[in-house]
Structure 1
């Protein structure tokens, strides 16, 4: 049965934190992370009060190939980051064990992650990998998504829940389709690419936390 863990990590203890959260009073929220061979593509949004200094700092990092502004809505900016992770990074430990980043938010001092693994054994292997790599993780909560304390949304994050519910209620999955990803994006102030990825992750999470546990049992 899959397991979800909520943990904290010092910003300076992993590469992505050092790259994105070292400039002033900034809050970073991951949207999606896709590995492509030796490189990774990351979508994230920020509430940075000074975009220019933040973008300048990130672009000076040796592992960054390209930082692209996808959209800007009020004080929120959605970015695409093409970068080359260092070997044995914290996120590499997650991905190598088939883990999924459900939610991640970071600031100047701390990042908080919600991760899902397919089993307790996989999560134990992840903890062991973090210990060997000296990643100082602070595990705050561990639970099975089908237990009563898993929350009302079966492992979905609040943005995933709100976006999927809005899409269903407004006919995105109707035939013919009654609303587009761009219209959904306008509602939430994100890009249509981010909407598509958020819906995909939401559906994947629902399957993994509701249908697959029943099959395993």
Structure 2
């Protein structure tokens, strides 16, 4: 886990490992952390995000390998949102993982969607003359528009100044991870897995999840970033 920015807290086991979505940073979990009370938690910025170093090449197994040492062998529940949910599923067989919660994972991809993602991955990072412009881009890419204010920690952690200009910290190459293969990951998982989505999440439908996991959960009134919109509702999904 060299080059990762990692935040930790709490003390009551098992540890909750919190893995954010594409474009975000660990700060998006702050509300869930508060809802967990004294539960032990660890939240990294995934590689190429926030304060963490980029990877030479992005695949879901490579991202999972980069954070695997954060799993406490004495007991960990891996909780991931979207991109981070796929990473959590890759950690399911790691010694110490007791359960996985995947929130808002896009499980159905078209060839056109994968091609568009690959095109984004090939772009150079966009740089802006002002911090405000970079923050606006960061919030838009992370799906946090209207949920996070420009001066909140989840916004501030997603941009960096370089040579007098500003850019989102996200390494665009992370878009090139490819199709996640969620069905195969679920079939191989040796621990209980809960898949959940916000009722209004445009990225994944209830039918998509039910086709893979009959015990999947719809969170009423919420969207793709349900953990930001209603941290308590998401914290309630995390097994003790």
Structure possessing the higher relative contact order (Cα contacts under 8 Å, 6 or more residues apart): 1
**Structure with the largest fraction of helix:** 1
TM-score by length of 2: 0.28
TM-score w.r.t. structure 1 length? 0.30
Structure with more of its chain in strand, by fraction: 1
Larger radius of gyration: 1
